[in-house]
Structure formats: C-alpha cells, structure tokens
Structure 1
Amino acid sequence: MSEEILINFTPMETRVAVIENGMPQEIYIERAERRGIVGNIYKGKVVRVLPGMQAAFVDIGLERAAFIHVDELPLPDDFAANGKGTLAINRLLREGQSLVVQVTKDPIGTKGARLTTHLSIPSRYLVYMSGNEHIGISQRIEDADERDRLRGLVEAVVAGLDRETTGGFILRTVSEGVCEAELSQDVQFLCRLWDTIEEKIKSLSAPSCIYEDLPLNMRALRDMAHSGIERIRIDSKETFQKSIDFASALVPEIDTVLEYYPGERPIFDLYNIEEEIQKALGRKVELKSGGYLIFDQTEAMTTVDINTGAYVGHRNLEETIFKTNLEAATAIGRQLRLRNLGGIIIIDFIDMVDEDHQRQVLRTLERVLEKDHVKCKVTGVSELGLVEMTRKRTRESLEHVLCESCEHCQGRGSIKTPETVCYEIFREILRQHRAYDTESYLVLAAEAVVDMLLDEASDHVAELEAFIGKTIRFQTETMYSPEQFDVVLK
C-alpha cells in the first residue's frame, strides 16, 4: 500500500492530508486563531466542585471552564485500597485549589475541554508518564520477542540515567525495530522536557499554560510519519526548512522522504482533496454500485443509514443487499477517518437474512477500522439489527471545524415552508386584532412568503380581511430569513 502525506501551509491555516493508494483517508485542519489544545498542560484553578457528578470545573484560562472527573484525579495513598468509586471528589478537591492538568479533549460545541491529572508527553518513539515508573508497549506491536527487546532496552536506558525519579514510558507503535541509541535519545529528551515543565509548575500562577503541544505540521511528522511513508510533500519553503530541522533532531529516518512542493498547481488539487472535503461535508455518500450512505451527526451520536439506491443487482435481492452492505462497510471506515467522527456511532445496514452475510459484513467493518489510528470499538449487532460502535473523540469533526449552524434553521437542517409561515402570519394578525384597535396591518416578510400571500393564499387573505374588517398590505424585506416576519399596526 502506497502512502504519502501532503502538508498545505498558510499563515492563517495548516492542512494535512494522509493519502493511501491515491485516495485521501484523513484530513486535519488547524487554524492559527483556533488551535487545538489536546495535549497542552495547564496550571488551573478549581472553580466549582460537583459532588453529585463526582466532577469539578477548572479554570485554565479559556472562555469556558474545563471539566475533570474523579477518575482522572490521583488518589492519596491511604485511599488507594478503597477504589475510586468510594472516594468523594470533595475530599480530593476544593474550590480555589491549584491543579496541574492536561487536556484530553478539545472544547466541542457547548462542552468545555476534558482534563486529566495523569500527565503524559509524547516524543517520536515514546510517551513519558509522570507519577509512575511503569514501562508499557503499544498493543499494535504484536511480536512477543520484539516487545521483550524494546522493554529491555528502555529499562537499560532508564537504569543508566543519573536521576532519582524518571517517570514511566510507553513505547509507541513506530518504535518497532528501532535501536537502543534512538530510544536513549528520546528518553533523555523527554526527561529534559519534563524538568522544564516542573520548573514552570513551581514558578507560574494559576491559570496559566505550562506546556503547549506542537503545531499540526510538526505533529504530522512526529505522529503520522512511519517507515511505510513514501513521500511527505510540503508546499511552503519556510515550513519545509523547519521540518528538515525538526526531523534531523527528532525523526531522522524521514529526512529522505521530505520534499518541497513548488508546483503552480495547489498541492491539495493533486488528489482532488478539495473535492473530497466538500463531499465529506455532505450527508450523502455515493457508492460505486449505485447505493449510498446517509450520515447524520447530532449532539449525542452519529447515525449512518445504508440504501441500495439505483443498485438492483444481477441475481437476487439478498445478494444485492449483501454486496451493498460490504461496499458500505469499507466506505464507512474511510468516511469516519475523513470526517473525524467520534463518540457513539450507530450503523443501520440493510437487513440481511443470512447470518453468514451478517458476520462477513461485520468482519469487513472491523478489518477496515484496524487501519484507523484512533481507537475504535465495535460492540456487535443489536436486537434491532443495528451495528453499535464507538470511536474515540479528542478533536472536533471536520464539519465542526469548517462549518457553523445555519442562521435560518438554527441547526435543524430544515426550514418552515412559505405556506407554514403564511398561516403563522394569519394567526398573528388575529392575535393583534383581538388585542389592539388599528385601521390596517402591514406584513413584512421574505419574498417567497409575500409571493405566496399575494398569489396562492390570496383567497385566504381576502377572507381574513372580511372577517376582521381591516386592510392587510404586504412588503418584501430582502434581509429577512425565510421564517422571519413582522406584523406592523398602521
């Protein structure tokens, strides 16, 4: 499988696309004025403790207070044996208390950031964990001998450090096959960085930012680049040079795949990425067979509906449904990554009678999700025939980054018809007639509504005028939304 990364940089916005076999699979967007804060470490102040929710709100200097649950707090030694469920949060936190926290989820919608006190700092091959000396290994490294080798190397490096406490380390997936020298370099880098963070924790007052994660273009080199990447193309000369310096210091093995892209054609046009972004913002996703998917993203969950559409098959209905569902399972895995959808996801595959077909579709979905860098869990098929799954949500989806709620429909996704608005106007005129004594009425409304009042609903207008004994006039307001109107007493 060929894989490359494209980095499009402007002073206002950085965009990264992961391409597999010529198809965009993941798109990340970070704007200078709205940078994500996942991974940032803050010295915050507890502003409110909620014993009933076993949680607290912490001021870390953002517009909205962040949220931390009792499970994300360190337990005192004398309470460790009791378990977290029996320990009240108001015995751990008090209002006004300073607390060093790390962001695990960006603010999304009306929700503040999610926090933890279990601090961790990533480098190329390792993740440093403060507060414990455990050495863990990514589950994606499956070879037992390689796991033992890596653990032994890190233990040897840590044992050779001239430090009283070192903290713990987790070996990331990209550490598979690396030598002791590279791991040693990462361990020393992380220890020096943690020393700097500790100094800031002591000197800065709350609320303040202690540590800020790398910008998107550097995170792409640190987290997304691996030995299978063929090329990393960057369309900014300055960013390319910074990437060369960063790679030389932290990720030397990708030096040879970094390329500056000077082409006149925009870099995101190389694989029709702009077109894919537009498609990813829509509800409907066409399948090659003629079927289609419908994505609906709500506050609580995302639902995916599969339809055969124009696909009629060649044999029988069951075979048509099976092939459509198989194609849909592959497309859904890609769309979840492309749209960066997280949380609870409910998939309504077309009902299949054959249990073997159900198992194959579910297995196809699970196989596609194995490629996802974000943790996914498929719980199986429910009694209603729905596939329930979760995908870890840390950052806002592509739609939330690029779009906002429609001012006309307030995010409902639909607006009232002109006919509905006309009837609302009639009811408002009757209400005004009973409350006030006036000679006539002037209705201000959008063009489509006024057109209907003067044409299709003109008979009703005449009946209303006869009933109230008053004249009703209409005026088009170009600035009014389709649902907006005013009844003016004259």
Structure 2
Amino acid sequence: MSENLLINVTPQETRVALIFQGAVQELHIERTLSRGLVGNIYLGKVVRVLPGMQSAFIDIGLERAAFLHVADIWDARPQGHEGNSNNVPLTPIEKLLYDGQAVTVQVVKDPIGTKGARLSTQISIAGRMLVFLPQDSHIGISQRIENEEEREALRTKVQGLMLEDEKGGFIVRTMAEDASEEDLRTDIEYLRRTWSTISKLAKTKPPCSLLHQDLNLAQRVLRDFVNEETSSIQVDSRENFLMLQEFGRTYTPSVLPKLQHYTGERPLFDLYSVEEEIERALGRRVNLKSGGYLIIDQTEAMTTIDVNTGSFVAGRNFDDTIFKTNLEAALAIARQLRLRNLGGIIILDLIDMESQEHKDAVLAELNKALARDRTKLSVSTFSALGLVEVTRKRTRESLSHVLCEPCPACSGKGQVKTARTICYEILRELLREAKQFNPREFRIMASQVVVDMFLEEESQHLAMLGDFIGKPISLQVENVFHQEQYDIILM
C-alpha cells in the first residue's frame, strides 16, 4: 500500500495530511505565529530551583518559565550509566543548578494548557538518517530495525565514519535501514556543522536566547515522514515547492523524485476531502461503517474512548456482534489517535466480551493497527473492569487544542446551564439586591431564551417575587449575551 503526503501552504499556516488506503491518517498543522518548540535549543537561565520536587524553572524567553526535572539533566546521571535506574540514584538537583545559572537546554514537550515547556539538558539533533548526541559516546540503533545482522552492519558503518577524537554519539534512525555510506557521511557532516554553530552561539549569546530552531513542518516532512511506501509528496505552493527542492538536494536527495508541485484548480485539500475530515476530527462522535460508534472525550488528565454497538446487529448472536464491533473499533481508534494527535493516558472502554479468545483477538488487532504509529506508545491488557490503557507520547498539542478554544458560554465544560436554572439564579440575585438597595425598579438584562422563559413558564414566580419585594421588575433582551450571562440594573 502506498502513502501520499499533501502539503498545503499559506502565509499564515502550513498543513500536512498523510493519505493511506484512500483515507486521511495523520494531520499536522503549524501556524506561522505559533510554531512548535520541540527540538529547539536555548541558552536558558535558572529562575528557581525546587529541591523538594527535584526540578527547576528555566527562563528561555517564553511567556511562562519552562520546567526541568532532575531526571532530564545529563550531568545528574552517574558515570557509566546510560540512564537512571531504581538502583542508581541521581545527583540531587540543588548540587547541579543554582539561581541565575546559564544552561543549554532543549525543548522536549511544547507548552500545553497552563503547563510550561518541558526541557532536557541532553541535547539531540536530528538528521534524516541519524540523531547526533553531543554528550553521549555510544551508537544506538532504532528498535524498528529488527534484523540483528543489519543492526550490526549499520553500527560498523557509522563507527567507520566517525573521527578518532569524535565527541558525541549517534542513534541510527529507521530511515537509515537501506542508506549508503555516502548518505550517512552527508548526514554526519550536516550534524557536526549544526552542533558547531550551536556551541559557538552558546558562548556569545546572552541568556534566554534561541540557539537552534528545528526545521519547519514542510522540511520535517522530507526528513521524517517520507519512507519507501511514500509514492508522492504534493505541494500546492510554487515558492515552497522550490524551497523544498533546494532543501532536498542538500539533505534528502533520494526524496526529490517524489516531490511534485500541485497546479490543479481545485484546492489540494478539497480534492482529497481533507477539510471534511478535519471537521469530523473535531467532533466527539466517530461513526463506524457497521453502525457502531466511538465517543471520544479529551480532558487535561486523560482521553477516554467509549465503544458502542449502535445500530449494528449483523452478527450471528449478541457475542458475535460485540466482537465484530470491537474489531472495527480497534482499527478506528488507532487511526483517531494519529489523526487527532492524542497523547498521554488514553482509556479505551471497549464493549464487554466474555470470551478470552475474543479479547486476545481484539488486542492483537489493536496492536497491529498501532504498529504504523510513528509516536512511541504502549498498550496494556484488559483490566479487571474491562478497560484497556494506552499511553502515547505527547510532544505537541492535539488537533483540537490547535484549532479550538474553550467555549465562552460553558468555559470548556462542554455544557451550559438551562434557561430555567438561570431564571432561578436571577430570582435569588434579585432577592439579595432588594435586601441591600432600594431602587425604583429592577431591570433584568438577559438572553432571548431566558427572557422568554420569564414571560411564559416562570412568569408566575417572577410576579410573586415582584409582589414580595414591592418593586416593579422589567425585562430586556440583550442579544449579545449567551444563555448563562445576565445583568441586573438598579433603576
């Protein structure tokens, strides 16, 4: 099966859609005014060290201070250990950092909601074939390259290209699986030049300066997204097509034959129905072809996905219907995680199945569908409550967080108080106001639906309150007010 990549570029944003088997599988959006920060390297300034949390806040020039945990400080790790383990304690953060200290850091997670960016002092610079680790000295191989002979051959190739006094190590990416020695040499030279520039800037720039910015979205497509299954990369902007051609000649020459300039009259995203898919990806409900459906609810703590049979009754019996719905849901869930870029803890509430054989088959189908995901994730078995827990690495904001904002009427709750509830709130507020003030008249300013409720079903209660406080109460429709908004004017 072949993949197609669509790149839609406008002055205000770049959008990328990955099409596989005729359906949109991934959507990536990068806005000019709010480019993602992941991969950027800064010269930060320590604002505050928190020994109790073993973390520190670092000023990198953003609106909110960024967060650095001791586990993400390379110097905290004991010599001879590639990472922390339960048996090897880290050096306490108060012995490594102090207020006002300048430190070179890299963003590993974008700011999300009220949380600042997450930082690490272990710098990594990605090329097309390799990732350069300036502080490390080992050569790692991507876990997706499973053939042991091939892994060893790649390690030998990279070692042969390294200088005798080479400082730093490399991780061989999946893209390097069939790479020639020349491809690897070109990538190593690019990474060395990049790190040399960053090192010089770190010595001359003031704190809170940007030392290195990751590639823009269109360039990352050529570096990270293209693989042997990619049949075409269509770009609808001539200027950016030429820019990507130039970038490709320098860094990704093998990708150039797949790069195409789209010149059709219809917008590129309309041609492949991507705009419709974006609208559907912002909704809670996802319909399955069988008649079943998913309900996806995203909160700050986690995302829940509930599976329902809906109108699907095609199975031989009820157990068969449930099994077939869950199998279809497993494929749809894997696609929705990529499409919506959902990360963190994801709880799947599949329909309860009695048969262990059915449970194993659904889990196998889910893992198979998730194998195409380029983001690191893990899947648990069924819990005692019949739930499956998925954790998916969260580095950038989800699609809904990029395109949407909390509803001004409900403040992000996803629901609003009924008109009757607002009427009763107003009646209580009127009673409080009448006890404190003595105006000639009270005027209620509210939305049309609330005023209608007072004029019809709640007219008796409003009249009773008017008689009780001994003051006239008038109503005024305020069209700009939403349902929960009202004001009481003392006349």
Band of TM-score, shorter chain: over 0.9
Partners of 1:281 and 1:56 lie apart in 2 by 35
2 CA distance for matches of 1:79 and 1:270? Answer: 56
Task: Tell me the residue number matched to 1:151.
Answer: 155
Match of 2:346 in 1: 345
**What is the distance in 2 between the residues matched to 1:78 and 1:329?**
42
Which residue is equivalent to 2:110?
Answer: 106
| 2:118 equivalent to 1:117 | no
Structure 2 match to 1:30: 30
CA distance in structure 1 between the partners assigned to 2:419 and 2:320 by the alignment: 44
Whether the aligned pair in 1 keeps the contact of 2:447 and 2:479 (CA below 8 Å) is yes
Q: What pairs up with 1:229-378 in 2 under 5 angstroms? A: 229-378=230-379
Cα distance change on mapping 1:168 and 1:311 into 2, 3 Å = same
Structure 2 match to 1:476: 477
Moved more, 445-454 or 73-82: 73-82
SS at match of 1:16: strand
CA displacement, residues 433-452 of structure 1 (integer Å, 9 cap, x when unaligned): 22222332111111110011
Question: Aligned in 2, Cα 1:336/1:78: closer, same or farther, shift over 3 Å?
Answer: closer
Listed one character per residue, the Cα deviations across residues 134-185 of structure 1 (whole Å, up to 9, x for unaligned) are 1000000011111111001000011xx3x63331000000100111111111
Contact 2:78 2:88 in 1 (8 A): no
Please state whether the residue corresponding to 1:133 is helix, strand or coil. coil
Distance verdict in 2 for CA 1:86–1:196, change over 3 Å: closer
CA contact (8 A) 2:76 2:93 kept: no
**Structure 1 position 67 matched with structure 2 position 71:** no
Structure 2 distance, partners of 1:86, 1:194, is 27
Query: What is the one-letter code of the residue matched to 1:204?
Result: K
Kindly state the Cα deviation for residue 77 of structure 1 after the two structures are TM-superposed: 8.2
Distance (whole Å) between structure 2 residues aligned to residue 351 and residue 414 of structure 1: 29
CA RMSD for the aligned pairs?
1.4
Q: Taking structure 1 as reference, are residues 21 and 359 closer, same or farther at Cα in structure 2, changes over 3 Å only?
A: same
Which range moved further: 479-488 or 207-216?
479-488
Count of residue correspondences:
487
Alignment of 1:134 onto 2:112: no
Q: CA deviation at 1:189?
A: 1.5
User: What's the counterpart of residue 96 of structure 1?
Assistant: 100
- Three-state SS of the structure 2 residue aligned to 1:210 is strand
* Paired letter, 1:52: G
Q: TM-score, normalised by structure 1?
A: 0.97
Q: Is the 8 A contact 1:13 1:30 kept in 2?
A: yes
Aligned to 1:45: 45
Distance 1:77 1:367 in 2: 36
Counterpart position of 1:205: 206
1:77-92 residue pairs with structure 2 within 5 A? 85=89, 87-92=91-96
Q: 3-state DSSP class of the match of 1:230?
A: strand
Give the match's secondary structure for 1:154: helix
Deviation at 1:78, TM superposition (A): 7.5
CA distance in 2, matches of 1:91, 1:74: 13
Separation (CA, whole Å) in 1 of partners of 2:242 and 2:68: 39
- Aligned partner of 2:67: which letter? F
Contact 1:166 1:191 in 2 (8 A): no
Partners of 2:14 and 2:218 within 8 A in 1: yes
The 1-side partners of 2:9 and 2:403 are apart by 16
Equivalent residue, structure 2, for 1:8: 8
Q: Aligned partners of 2:151, 2:323: CA distance in 1, in Å?
A: 40
User: What secondary structure does 1:380 align onto?
Assistant: coil
SS at match of 1:43: strand
Deviation at 1:3, TM superposition (A): 0.6
For the 8 Å contact 2:110–2:397, the answer to whether it is kept is yes
Query: Is 1:415–2:419 an aligned residue pair?
Result: no
Secondary structure at the residue paired with 1:201? helix
Cα drift, residue 63 of structure 1: 0.6
1:223 corresponds in structure 2 to 224
Aligned residues of 1:79 and 1:87 also touching (Cα < 8 A): no
Q: CA deviation at 1:217?
A: 0.3
Task: Tell me the SS of whatever aligns to 2:479.
Answer: coil
Contact 1:42–1:209 (CA under 8 A) maintained in structure 2: yes
Identity of paired residues, percent?
53
Distance (whole Å) between structure 2 residues aligned to residue 77 and residue 361 of structure 1: 41
Corresponding letter in the other structure for 1:228: E
Amino acid at match of 1:139: Q
CA change 1:258–1:448 in 2 (3 A) is same
Secondary structure of the corresponding residue to residue 451 of structure 2? helix
Task: Kindly indicate whether the alpha-carbon contact (under 8 Å) linking 1:71 and 1:84 is maintained by their aligned counterparts in 2.
Answer: no
In the other structure, the counterpart of 1:439 is: 440
Q: Which amino acid letter does the alignment assign opposite residue 106 of structure 1?
A: D
Residue 185 of structure 1 aligns to a residue in which SS?
A: helix
Render the CA deviation track for 1:236-268: whole Å, top value 9, x for unaligned. 111111111111111111111111001110101
Report the residue type matching 2:44 in the other structure: G
How far 1:75 moved relative to its partner? 2.7
> 1:128 touches 1:168 (CA, 8 Å); kept in 2?
yes
Distance 1:288 1:281, change over 3 A: same
8 Å CA contact 2:443, 2:490 repeated in 1: yes
Give 2:182's aligned residue: 181
User: Whole-Å Cα distance in 1 between the matches of residues 80 and 450 of structure 2?
Assistant: 67
1:146/1:177 contact within 8 Å kept: no
* 77-86 or 447-456, which deviates more: 77-86
CA distance in 2, matches of 1:181, 1:216: 26
Inter-CA distance 436–79: structure 2 relative to 1 (3 Å threshold): farther
> 2-side partners of 1:397 and 1:449: how far apart?
36
Q: Which moved more, 1:456-465 or 1:410-419?
A: 456-465
* Consecutive unaligned residues in structure 1, runs of 5 or more: none
Aligned to 1:124, the other structure's residue is in SS state: coil
Deviations 1:337-381 (A, max 9, x none): 000000000000011111111111111111111100001101221
CA distance in 2, matches of 1:314, 1:243: 51
Provide the rounded CA distance (Å) in 1 between the counterparts of 2:78 and 2:246: 48
Shift of 1:88: 2.0
- Name the aligned partner's letter for residue 50 of structure 2: L
| Distance in 2 between residues matched to 1:21 and 1:290, nearest whole Å | 21
What is the Cα deviation at residue 227 of structure 1? 2.0
SS at match of 1:275: helix
CA contact 2:315–2:324 (8 Å) conserved in 1: no
Give unpaired runs (5+ residues) of structure 2.
none
Q: Contact 2:110 / 2:116 at 8 angstroms: preserved in 1?
A: yes
Change (3 A) 1:84 1:48: farther
Give the deviation of 1:469 after TM superposition.
2.1
Distance between the aligned counterparts of 1:420 and 1:442, measured in 2? 19
Partner residue, 1:54 = 54
Q: What secondary structure sits across from 2:75 in the alignment?
A: coil
